[in-house]
Amino acid sequence: MHIFRFVAAVAVLLLPLYPAQPVRAKSAMVVTREAHATDVGVAALKAGGNAVDAAVAVGFALAVTHPSAGNIGGGGFMLVRFADGRKTFLDFREMAPAKASRDMYLDASGNPTKDSVIGWRASGVPGTVRGLETAHKKYGKLAWSKLVTPAADLAKNGFPLSYGTALSLKSARNLAASPESKRIFQTNAQKNGDFFEPGDLLKQPELAKVLERIAKHGAEDFYSGETAKKLVSQMAANGGTITLEDLAHYKTVERTPLEGKYRGFDIITAPPPSSGGIGILQMLAMLEKTDFAASGAGSAKSIHFMAEAMRRYYADRAEFMGDPDFYKVPVSKLLNPKYVDARRATIDADHATSSDEVRPGDINGKESTETTHYSIVDAEGNAVAVTYTLNGGYGSGVTVPGLGFLLNNEMDDFSVKPGAPNMYGAIGGEANSIVAGKRPLSSMTPSIVLKDGKPFLIVGTPGGTRIITSVFEVIVNVLDFHMNVQDAVNAPRFHHQWKPDKLLLEPGISPDTRLLLSQQGHSIETVNAICEVAAIQFEADGWLAGASDSRVDGKAAGY
């Protein structure tokens, strides 16, 4: 027994001496959640495409190979930093249909129903196809059909399921609740209708036909053509709210990214309707004037201080954030140094603050969102970070008959009932209430870090409200704790979102640290995994280092 304890202790001490190694490439890199999609992205780059072309190809490929989050029935964000220094942010977030109304998901007693989470009424107007087309038309190089056809081929010919995807399909209850979803994703016709097993081919012929039409006719097929008409017909037959007019009126919005600084680095990140960029910049600013990192990564001191910064940011998020086209988000006030200093001053270095005692800050002084993420760099130095989503795993659970794609349940990202938690437990206020044509508040936070004016780190993740804290932690792991990008991504994560008043910890955080945090007053809850980051670091010797998350079956590849 004593020998075992000694060996275990030595093993723990030796682990930092052998850091996990990222995938390295000299010219270009693609990191995604799924191996086939990564290969599609690399092929687009090798064919002469740029990072935006690769991002479009990956987006369509993931709609086939990662059905729990990859999509053409959802929406998302694309952050681009061009080699010449230009920056842009494409918002193709879903929109509330024209028939949407503030209290549409409340029962007669005023309580939220499940209609915002599961079924036909849960879906906002999808933006992915329009968003990817907008990106290609403005910034791509390759022919559109060459970017969509690889996804169509994967859907038509099938691809072998990984262990994780097969298990996910088998266990998804919302798929089982939809006859069409169950038929496509949970019934293997080649095996007497049994569930799919690892290695089985998943073929999606209906989705293949949709992708073939999109390859030929562009986004117009999805928003006004044959696909649009079939989608709307099924919506009407099943009590959904999306109309042809909703689809026809959908537009991508190009926005200015948020920018900030941290310890001499420049941070480029997502603006509203993402709440994540403000969160990243505010939480980093709370850390900057402290010695929180002195005790090292994974210490009780560093976790405590970061968790307290998270707690204060999420209180602000609940009160002040929504779609900037409908609500004036007080960005400059929330990031004002004096305001951040005041928020930091309320943190007790030795004790957790009860969330009941933490309120949204006073901003009235003078001014001075199941998802997937992928990161891409091309040989010219253009960098793209894309996070897009169906919201929950497999979205609303509904696959459109005859079309083969899943619909989002993004309407739950609105404040269905201001003050009541959504499916991720997040509290929202009036700023994020439901209004026709409005885009729901998002946690998606694609981000790019610059060093001396050049790209240094590209990072993003899926995971609902946990996205923001995971991106925050990976940035801190690289910039403050000087980890290589693979170690930064693999490191055990933690999360606090104000309410519920719980500090979530992954199993890799030591028992001694857990005890110290508990003694400080944190209410600890263990969760198996928090998010799945895809990141790329630009190393000092000119190499690119790609990190797919060890928590999932992702792939980093380049050349």
DSSP lists the bridge partners of residue 374 as: 386
Phi first, then psi: what are they for 530, rounded to 5°?
-115, 105
Task: List C-alpha distances in Å: 238 to 121, 232, 233, 241, 383.
Answer: 9, 10, 9, 9, 42
- Extract the tokens encoding 427: 């509290």
Edge to edge, what strands does the sheet with 555-558 contain?
253-255, 87-92, 75-81, 383-389, 371-377, 29-32, 555-558
Would strands 253-255 and 454-460 be described as parallel, antiparallel, or unpaired? unpaired
Give yes or no for a contact between 145 and 156, defined as CB atoms under 8 angstroms apart.
no
Count the neighbouring beta carbons within 10 Å of the beta carbon of residue 29: 34
Dist CA 384 CA 436 (whole Å) = 31
Please spell the DSSP secondary structure of 318-330, one letter per residue. Answer: HHH-S-TTTS---
DSSP lists the bridge partners of residue 517 as: none
Q: For residue 298, which amino acid is it? A: G
- Extract the tokens encoding 328: 């004036």
Q: For residue 385, which amino acid is it? A: A
Of 479, 457, 482, nearest in space to 533 by CA: 457
- Active site (annotated) includes residue 389: no
Give yes or no for a contact between 541 and 150, defined as CB atoms under 8 angstroms apart.
no
Dist CA 312 CA 358 (whole Å) = 7
Dist CA 548 CA 164 (whole Å) = 15
Give yes or no for a contact between 76 and 389, defined as CB atoms under 8 angstroms apart.
yes
Dist CA 132 CA 76 (whole Å) = 10
Measured in whole angstroms, the distance separating CA 481 from the mean position of its chain's CA atoms is 24
Q: Which of 65, 241, 371, 372 is flagged as catalytic?
A: 371
- Extract the tokens encoding 472: 């925050």
Q: Which residue in this structure is represented by tokens 């002040």?
A: 320
Of 492, 121, 37, nearest in space to 302 by CA: 492
Q: Which residues are catalytic?
A: 371
